[in-house]
Amino acid sequence: MPERRVTVASSVGLHARPAALLAKAAAAQPVTVTIRKDGGEPVEAASVLGLMTLGAMHGDEVVLNAEGEGAEEALEALASIIAEDHDQG
């Protein structure tokens, strides 16, 4: 199963606006993508509530997983969202 590790860049972590952007992008993918913190349980990346329960803060590393046709492209697209600070003024 393809996976991608990425560091959360947004200053508020995966909460509010970054979580909404990530969930929307994940829902648009042709495969189901899960996200987890190391040692944690995976949640669906398309769920804003799931993303917020991760407690992923700025600087935390998260792991994205997906399987199926288009998985690599989906992981790359979502990783780029997580790696960008969406809370800069």
Q: Which residues are catalytic?
A: 15
**Parallel, antiparallel or unpaired: strands 33-37 and 61-66:** antiparallel
Maximum alpha-carbon separation in the chain: 37
How far out from the chain centre does Cα 38 lie? 13
Amino acid at 23: A
Distances (CA, A) of 72 to 2, 33, 57: 7, 10, 24
